[in-house]
Homo-oligomer: A and B are copies of this chain.
């Protein structure tokens, strides 16, 4: 445990449903190319507005994963 090295990447996920779902979408997309994800940190929460309503949320996150 004490000699692990983690890499941190930054993504922005989108969702019309809400903040948590935007994060889940980003994690799901990252899973196509990254293994061993461990944690997520939200760094920015934005939303796109259309016709005076939130059209979709855009949440930027950092993802940490173990380098094998």
Contact = CB atoms under 8 A, between A and B. Distances in A.
Q: How many copies does the complex hold?
A: 12
Contacts of A39: 46-49
Nearest to A38: B49
A11 B12 contact: no
Contacts of A15: 2-3
A13 B57 CA distance: 16
Interface in A7-26: 7-16, 18-20, 23-26
B52 A31 contact: yes
A56 B23 CA distance: 12
Interface of A: 1-16, 18-20, 23-31, 37-42, 44-49, 52-57, 60, 62-64, 67
